[in-house]
Amino acid sequence: MSTPFRQIKGQAGEDLAAAWLEKQGYMILERNYRFMQAEVDLVAFLPARDYERGGDLVFVEVKWRRKGTFAPPEAAVGRDKQRNLLMAAEAFLHERKLEGTPCRFDIVAITGEGSSLEIEHIPSAFVG
């Protein structure tokens, strides 16, 4: 059975976002973390410049749209998607005994294709 185009493009978008975040200093801890029907595309860690503070645990949703579509990619992260991300994040924190760890929810919005590709990182896109 072949992999659907949407799934292939989603994986390519996650690869682009992960590479971009790594160039910004993030460490990718996990990809496609699933809990029940909820999924987080990327779980990352951003070390703080002040070593004493540690850093930030970041749950990242990646959205990719062609240019000229009606709404920007980040508009696809509505309340239901936010709830699912929060559920997956809570499970991730629980499984790793990290409850109480400060974290945030970011969106990486990718628009265009080929040479017209644009990547926008939206830190703290919503509150969990």
Q: What are the residue boundaries of the structural domains of the chain, listed by start?
A: 5-55+82-126
**pLDDT at position 4:** 61
Residues 36, 28: Cα–Cα separation, whole Å: 22
Q: In degrees rounded to 5, what are phi and psi of residue 55?
A: 165, -165
**pLDDT at position 48:** 80
Please say whether the structural domain 5-55+82-126 has been given the CATH code 3.40.1350.10: yes
**pLDDT at position 9:** 62
**pLDDT at position 18:** 96
Of 117 and 22, the one with more pLDDT: 22
**pLDDT at position 2:** 53
Of 66 and 121, the one with more pLDDT: 121
> pTM of the entire structure?
0.88
**pLDDT at position 69:** 66
pLDDT digits (tens, 9 = 90+) for 20-62: 999 999 999 999 999 998 999 999 999 887 766 678 899 999 9
**pLDDT at position 102:** 84
pLDDT digits (tens, 9 = 90+) for 59-104: 999 998 877 667 888 888 889 999 999 999 999 999 999 988 889 9
Query: Residue 128 corresponds to which tokens in the numbers above?
Result: 């969990």
Residues 115, 112: Cα–Cα separation, whole Å: 8
Question: Would you call 16 helix, strand, or coil by DSSP?
Answer: helix
